[in-house]
Amino acid sequence: MQKGIHRCSPKQLETLEDFRNFLPEKLSEFLQNKEGGMFINSCFAHCQTWLADTWHSQSSPKIQNKIIAESVGDWYFSRNAVKLMYCPCPCDPTCYHMDFS
């Protein structure tokens, strides 16, 4: 089994991008929910919340200059509505391309 986005075939990358393009349409009803929050970046990494480097460091992935922990805190403590979704990959320069296995 291949691991890491850089080892994906063009067809695998196309499938991932198709999923990312499909997601906003399926989230349209959720986007109307004032209580729900989301932080969907274009990083190809699962479980970004369990490592300090991807959760709350200054070099964490960002959307609109907000890191994941800050966005979750804004949503959880009702400081701000958080409905953040980044552009398709590979446009996000803040992503970590780590092998989390």
Q: Is the pLDDT of residue 3 over 50?
A: yes
Q: What is the pTM of this model?
A: 0.73
Q: Convert the pLDDT of each residue in 29-84 to its tens digit.
A: 888 888 889 988 877 766 677 777 778 888 888 899 898 899 999 999 999 889 98
Greater confidence (28 vs 97) lies with 28
- Percent residues over pLDDT 90 in the chain: 12
Q: What HEC string does 3-53 produce?
A: CCHHHCCHHHHHHHHHHHHHHHHHCHHHHCCCCCCEEECCCCCCCCCCCHH
The predicted structure's pLDDT at residue 99: 55
Q: Cβ(6)–Cβ(45) under 8 Å?
A: no
